[in-house]
Amino acid sequence: MARNANSRFLEIANRQGANALLTAALAFLRMNNVPKRLILDCIKRIYDGRSSKASLRQYRKLINAYEDMGIVMSTWFSLPRFLDLQYRPIPLAGGFGPRSIGRLVRASRVSISTPVAIDLMLRSPSVRVDTLGNFVALRREFVLPDFEIPRAALVMERYLDTLHRNFSPRKKKGILLLERNCHVPNVSSAIIAPVLRDIKKRGSAYIDSVNGDIEGLRIRGSSPQGAGEMSVHIFAWTRLSRRRKSKRGSRTRT
């Protein structure tokens, strides 16, 4: 009897969880003006067993370039030859030379070319060009405007893969990929902002140190058989309670 009740509970939880996951994904895509026709066509191709390998390769190439730029910015903020006496990133000229974007890209050991890196920097609020035509780093994180959908796809793809491997019955004993969250259902909105600032500060410091550790593991030269990828993603999530929203809405209407 208890086993049947447990099975029923899991069935309902899985069904409602799938509904919540699809609802959130579709709402996000609609909010970012993805056409309904494109969404339905994608779902149909997946369930028909057809996949667009060409478009997937193009997406992978774009994502790889985006992640390479994260490594480039990290190198700019950490390698001594690109820092001034106050440990701030120095302005770099375009093209090649001892203090140039070309030299930075080369020192970062990434796959993208210097022209591609320069083009992406010109599109990013993480970098600006001064009156002398030099590139100036403004923030360590590489950001591209209107890049929410590829970013979300990158995080969700890896998170779902992590979930699958953590709960797969075929996983090797002793291997557990990090997948945790902490949640408080009732928090005063007055303290959320300062707590988030502290989390952002500590999280950024942690990511910087992890980035250095991971970067030190990168294989030099051609990748041997059995090489793989690894990454760390961190985000903080907040939402105002519905009660708070309704009160604010009623005050606005009066």
Alpha helices in 32-113 (DSSP H): 36-47, 53-78, 101-108
Q: What per-residue confidence (pLDDT) applies to 84? A: 94
pLDDT by 10-residue block (mean), the chain, 254 residues: 72 91 93 92 81 74 91 92 95 92 94 94 96 95 91 89 80 67 83 89 84 72 70 83 53 40
CA 178 to CA 82: how far, in whole Å? 33
Q: pTM, whole model, 2 decimals?
A: 0.72
CA 34 to CA 50: how far, in whole Å? 21
Q: What per-residue confidence (pLDDT) applies to 220? A: 63
With residue 127 as reference, give the H or E element that holds it.
Answer: strand 127-129
On whether the CB atoms of residues 164 and 120 are closer than 8 A, the answer is no
Going from N- to C-terminal start, the domains of the chain cover 1-51, 53-137
Q: What per-residue confidence (pLDDT) applies to 11? A: 86
Q: What per-residue confidence (pLDDT) applies to 123? A: 95
Task: Please give the C-alpha separations between residue 111 and each of 89, 108, 120, in angstroms, as whole numbers.
Answer: 22, 9, 14
Q: What per-residue confidence (pLDDT) applies to 204? A: 83
